[in-house]
A = this chain, B = another copy of it.
Amino acid sequence: MLRLTAPGNDRLLQSPNLKATFGGGEANVCVSCARFGLKSKYVSALPKNSLGQKVEELLLGQKVDTSAIAWCGHRVGVYFVERGANQRGSTVLYDRKNSSISEATPNNFDWDKVFENASWFHVSGITPALTESAADLTLYAVKEAKKRGVAVSCDLNYRKKLWDYGKKPSEVMPAIVENTDYLIANEEDIQLSLGINFDADVTKGHLEASDYESLMKKVSDKYPHLKAIATTLRESVSADHNNWSAILYTNGKLHISKKYAITHIVDRVGGGDSFAGGLITGLNIYEQPQDALEFAVAASCLKHSIDGDWNLVSKQEVLSLMGGDGSGRVQR
């Protein structure tokens, strides 16, 4: 999607200037993985116009393989972002109806090419929220992945403003989760997409990691094939100050990450995707779940200091933060 962001803390169109970057769950995760050294391929649909070509250009610059893109449809989705401050939250205005991906079907893709040499496939719950065909396509894709022995991760990513084509997430997402090995979901996702209840108050600004253990267990009981379930824990003190950590539940054990105070948020849109990209990377490069989790949390902590959806940091910078240096001293 084309992301159009108002400058500074301006309200949308308070000034006539917009900054154009590109984002969206799948692209964001791809870019993270590619920057951390994984071979990464973008599987989505783009129109054959100058915006679609720009998306490809930027992904190529990040060393993401673009050969599996389906060039079809008529538009790149757009979303508008205004950055909040203090008590005023950031806002996202979606204009993504009728985007190429929302109208794409399995026939637009060459599935053998999509999964050539692939070992991991990641989907998000945002695409199925767009249209029935996008939901069908997502389910089709994860089944194709499973058929080929490719591991599947899914970030439920519930977005209230999107689900409006007639189906509820709880009618769509469970089938996808049935084909998922690694699930990323927060408490709201789990309640609304999987129909499993939890009682945290997300507006109170403080969450206890241990509170989540029972919820993780519930999910695991319902979907026992899941190899791991991860949740990011965002304590929102203000639009500028969040505390950030995550948990990973695997093999019946809850791993709790270090918690980072992020007191001067630059941009938190894409934060969840940077966690997903970090977790996929972490699970691929570390043996210990705790290490994978810490890598993911450190990576996504750093994302909050980066403007735009993409987590433009290096693996070395993540490792340095994991290693304990979060003092923000000048590097010279």
Q: Which residues of A line the B interface, CB within 8 A?
A: 4, 8-21, 49-51, 54, 57-58, 60-63, 74-76, 78, 80, 84-95, 97-98, 159-161, 202-205, 236-241, 260, 262-266, 268-269, 301-302, 304-308, 312-313, 317, 321, 324-332
Per DSSP, chain A at the interface is loop
Q: Whole-angstrom distance from the CB of A106 to the nearest CB of chain B?
A: 23
* Least CB distance, A211 to chain B, in whole angstroms: 18
Query: Contact partner of A91 among B159, B308, B330, CB < 8 A?
Result: B330
Q: Known: A86-B263, A97-B98, A317-B88. Contact between A18 and B18, CB under 8 A?
A: yes
| Sample of 17 more A-B contacts, CB < 8 Å, known A15-B16, A88-B313, A161-B332 | A4-B4, A4-B18, A9-B305, A9-B307, A14-B307, A15-B15, A50-B93, A60-B63, A78-B78, A85-B305, A88-B306, A89-B329, A89-B330, A90-B328, A159-B332, A239-B328, A241-B264
Interface centre among A90, A203, A329 (most CB of B within 10 A): A329
- Across-interface contacts of A85 in B (CB, < 8 A): 264, 266, 305, 328
- Give the distance in Å from the alpha carbon of A328 to the alpha carbon of B88 in the complex: 5
Instruction: Give the 7 A-B residue pairs with the shortest CB-CB distance, closest first.
Output: A239-B328, A92-B332, A87-B326, A85-B305, A61-B61, A57-B61, A236-B327
Complexed CA–CA distance, A58 and B266 (Å): 25
Residue in chain B with minimal CB distance to A164:
B74
15 A-B pairs in the complex with CB atoms less than 8 angstroms apart: A12-B51, A16-B19, A16-B21, A17-B20, A58-B61, A75-B97, A84-B328, A86-B301, A87-B327, A89-B329, A91-B330, A238-B326, A238-B327, A240-B263, A240-B328
